[in-house]
Structures are given as C-alpha cells and as structure tokens.
C-alpha cells in the first residue's frame, strides 16, 4: 500500500496495491409473522444463486426476521445486489400478502376459483 504520484490538480491520490478490497452489507427484514417470513424466504432463496452475479449472498431466518448478507468485489456490485434482493423480497412479500387476502376473502364469501376442467373444456374460436 502506498502513495502513487500526484494528480493533475496537485492533489495526491491514494491507490491501494495488493489489498483485496471488498464491500459488505447486512440487511434485516422484520415481517412480524414467522409464517410470512418463511414464505418470503422460500420464494427468494433461488435468487441468491443467480449465474453471472459478482456478489455472494447468504440468507437465513431467525424468528420473523429475514437476514441477508451480501459480499461483493466493488461498491457498484454491492449496490446492484442489494437492489435486486430488496426488489425480490418486496415482490415476494407483496404476493404473500395478496394470497393471504384472497384466502380470507374466499373463506368469508364461500367463493372458489373456477375448476381447471371447466377452463380446459372451452373451445377456442
């Protein structure tokens, strides 16, 4: 590690040599409900191993909290991984919420979905 020259403005720039610099982040998502946290965790779990990703993502559950640890070679890769995981988790949480609302609506009203046999028997014109 050391100083390497001066910039055009006369300001010295620090360049690290031989030091692997990595960016890390730890995120905590509290869902307040263990079942909901488990559903979101299971939905997002396959996304942590995407091919072509520069980042290493680890996830684990503790009670109603989902913990995400991201390790990336650069801050740009870290930001991209955090944005992706955040969007996936938000989407999964929204879908779990919608499914819960639909289930409670069906229980209250006695409504059921159309059977698949009725759909498949219709002809396309």
Reduced to 3 states (helix: H, G, I; strand: E, B; else coil), residue 65 is strand
User: Tens of pLDDT along 32-45?
Assistant: 999 999 999 999 99
Q: Which residues contact 70 (CB under 8 A, 6 or more apart)?
A: 24, 25, 26, 27, 55, 56, 57, 78, 81, 82, 85
Q: Which of 27, 31, 2 is nearest to 16 (CA)?
A: 2
Are 1 and 16 in contact by the 8 Å Cβ rule? The answer is: yes
Q: How does residue 1 score in pLDDT terms, banded at 50, 70 and 90? A: very low
Percent of the chain topping pLDDT 70: 65
Domains defined along the chain, listed by start: 18-106 (3.30.310.50)
Span 43-78, pLDDT tens digits: 999 888 766 678 899 999 999 999 999 999 999 999
- The answer to whether 57 and 81 have CB atoms below 8 angstroms apart is yes
When the pLDDT of each residue in the chain is averaged and rounded to a whole number, the result is: 78
Q: For tokens 């870290």, what's the residue? A: 78
Alpha-carbon gap, residue 86 to 74, rounded angstroms: 18
Q: Binning pLDDT at 50, 70 and 90, where does residue 2 land?
A: very low
């Amino acid at each position: 590690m050391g100083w390497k020259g001066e910039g055009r403005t006369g300001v010295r720039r620090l360049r690290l040599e031989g030091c692997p610099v990595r960016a890390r982040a730890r995120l905590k998502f509290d869902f307040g409900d263990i079942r909901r946290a488990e559903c979101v965790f299971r939905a997002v779990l396959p996304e942590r191993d995407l091919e072509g990703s520069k980042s290493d993502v680890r996830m684990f559950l503790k009670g109603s909290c989902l913990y995400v640890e991201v390790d990336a070679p650069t801050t740009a890769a870290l930001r991209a991984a955090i944005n992706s995981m955040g969007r996936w988790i938000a989407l999964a949480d929204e879908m779990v919420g919608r499914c819960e609302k639909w289930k409670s609506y069906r229980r209250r009203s006695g409504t059921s979905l159309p059977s698949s046999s009725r759909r498949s028997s219709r002809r396309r014109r």
